[in-house]
């Protein structure tokens, strides 16, 4: 059994949800536990960043944006002209 992380050019739903849950959990631990201030700040900021990635990928899925797709390379090549090819050499 192979675990899929990317499906259709975006993260799978279980990965998006787990990123959000892990990020919020880190932030709650940093706010509620009596940790040293440096560790609490690192945990809070990393939790915020992880939850942000999960939320943004969820929004990308909702808007049908595929950030992990390579179709932009095909589009870029379609705009090239003969003069662009001559400049490369």
Full-model pTM: 0.71
Confidence of residue 87 (pLDDT cuts 50, 70, 90): low
pLDDT tens by residue, 16-36: 999 999 999 999 999 999 999
Which CB contacts under 8 angstroms, 24+ apart, belong to 56-64?
A: 57/10, 57/11, 57/16, 57/19, 58/16, 58/20, 60/10, 61/10, 61/11, 61/13, 61/16
């Amino acid at each position: 059994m192979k675990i899929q992380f990317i499906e259709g050019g975006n993260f799978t739903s279980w990965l998006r949800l787990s990123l959000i849950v892990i990020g919020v959990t880190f932030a709650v631990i940093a706010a509620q536990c009596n940790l040293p201030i440096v560790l609490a700040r690192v945990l809070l900021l990393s939790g915020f960043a992880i939850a942000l990635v999960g939320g943004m990928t969820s929004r990308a899925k909702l808007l049908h944006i595929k950030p992990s797709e390579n179709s932009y390379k095909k589009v870029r090549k379609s705009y090239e002209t003969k003069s662009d090819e001559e400049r490369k050499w």
